[in-house]
Amino acid sequence: MFDTHCHLHSSEFDNDREAIIKNLRSKDIHLVTVGTNCEDSDQAIYLAEENPEIIWATMGVHPHEATEVSFCPQNIRQFSQRARHSKVVAIGEAGFDFHYNSKEEVYQAQEDIFRCQIEIALDLKKPLIIHTRDSFEETYNLLAEYQGQELTVIYHCFTGSPEWVSKLSSLDNISYFSFSGIVTFRNKVEEIQASAKGVPIDRLLIETDSPYLAPVPYRGLRNEPTFLSTILEKISELRNIPCEELERQLDMNSRTVFQL
């Protein structure tokens, strides 16, 4: 199995990371550990360097970090240079998030950092991992400006409706949709489950986003990449596809998008 988005390098795993990695090897689980700012991304890269056979990394600035980061030309050059590392398989997570702050408060800072990461992804020909929360319209409008530029995007922890799958897929880029443990929740997830059922099979991915968003029946616990099988089983049920067949397809999709 392939966890396309987690944060295994984060401090929540400091006490037992080695045991978790040993367990991942035994279960043949591969993953991408995702950076949320420049320092955090360096930690992700270091973990990938230490475990090259099962872990890859990203270089990114999360929208929540946008107001804390100054992307002057020198910083952009340093970010771009670090993103060329052989273990960095994507840029991001980047995007918009207006859940905790109003659009008016943070839009410009988030847009500037988002645009910068789009440009770096295009320059390096690496996929862009997109975080979009309470901001589908803004994300769509910005990406529409990059039509025809061979941008590959991964909508991480996708929570949109089938209509948004269709609208985002209509853009002239290569779009993948990654589903997290939210798809297993019991309340107000009908639209998300419909999207997981309807996304084209060759554009479907799964993730844990661990240590966050533990799936049922692990709600309330720290999420772990080994819980990925629960998400796989739920989507297998939704799509009426045997787990083994779905797992093979998802692994192929993951390796395709990350060019592995």
Question: Is the pLDDT confidence value at 20 over 70?
Answer: yes
pLDDT at 93: 97
DSSP state letter for 44: H
- 127-159 tens-digit pLDDT: 999 999 999 999 999 999 999 899 999 999 999
By residue count, the chain amounts to: 260
Note the pLDDT of residue 54. Answer: 98
- CATH superfamily of this structure's domain 2-257: Metal-dependent hydrolases (3.20.20.140)
* pLDDT of 48 higher than 80: yes
The pLDDT assigned to 24 comes to 97
Specify the pLDDT at position 72: 65
Please report, rounded to a whole number, the percentage of residues in the chain having pLDDT higher than 90: 93
The pTM (predicted TM-score) of the whole model is 0.96
Pull the structure tokens for residue 80. 């771009």
What would the pLDDT profile of 96-119 be if each residue is shown by its tens digit? 999 998 899 999 999 999 999 999
CA distance 252 to 16: 30
Domain range summary for the chain, segments of one domain joined by +: 2-257
Read off the pLDDT of residues 167-214 as tens digits, 9 standing for 90 and up: 999 999 999 999 999 999 999 999 999 999 999 999 999 999 999 999
Positions of E strands within the chain: 2-6, 30-33, 55-59, 88-97, 128-133, 152-155, 174-179, 204-206
| Per-residue confidence (pLDDT) for residue 76, from 0 to 100 | 85
Query: Does 75 score more than 90 pLDDT?
Result: no
